[in-house]
A and B are shown apart, each in its own frame.
Chain A
């Protein structure tokens, strides 16, 4: 009964590959997000979607393409992976008035 679930939990891949991370929320929230936590531990927003509509695209390289097939899902596809993409990626969701619920994260390592 995980509220926000993302898969996979760990992802190790070579430079240049294309990979996807999936996220699903069963909370009925209207808004979903992707956050990136780098080695310095800053949690920075990458994208937000409100009812499947892209709201925020925060200066992220266009190698990153989010897709929201419905308001319960927000997937992240990354093309041509680079070493600097190594980080922990968190999916989150929120209703209008309260705080975020985060997934458990996907640790991406590009080698």
Chain B
């Protein structure tokens, strides 16, 4: 059911920028791109979301291509604590409980000392 595709795994050197790609070629006009991460077996944690403009917050930046068919999550200075599985999902922002959102396998990011 996942409408996104992501690489299964990536490595990143500590202190470097981690760039995590996501393809969402069938995204609809009213759907936002959301990113979450799951550290170990904790509950997934919201990172950032966007519609078409690039977004930045204290955790990360989100770059969405002009055609909105793909996006990249950027962790500017990866630390060991950023080692996690990163999920990219799409959903309308005002869907309430009506959207059947399934998280795919995500990208397992390993930050290397």
A positions within 8 Å CB-CB of B: 4, 30-33, 35, 40-45, 48-50, 55-56, 58, 88, 90, 92, 94, 96-105, 107
Contact = CB atoms under 8 A, between A and B. Distances in A.
A102 B44 contact: yes
A7 to B, nearest CB: 14
A99 B46 contact: yes
B53 interface: no
Interface stretch (B9-17, B35-43, B74-82): B35-43
A55 B97 contact: yes
Q: At the interface, is chain B mostly helix, strand, loop or mixed? A: loop
A102 B103 contact: no
Which 8 residue pairs across A and B have the least CB separation, nearest first?
A102-B43, A48-B97, A43-B103, A99-B46, A55-B97, A31-B97, A50-B97, A97-B93
Contacts of B49: 98-99
A43 B41 contact: no
6 contacts: A4-B43, A41-B105, A42-B105, A90-B43, A98-B49, A100-B46
Nearest to B91: A99
B72 to A, nearest CB: 18
The main secondary structure of chain A at its interface with chain B is: strand
Interface residues of B, number: 23
Contacts of B46: 98-101
B102 A99 contact: no
Given A55-B96, A56-B98, A97-B93, A104 B42 contact: yes
B65 interface: no
Contacts of A102: 43-45
Interface string B18-62: 000000000000000010100001111110010000000000000
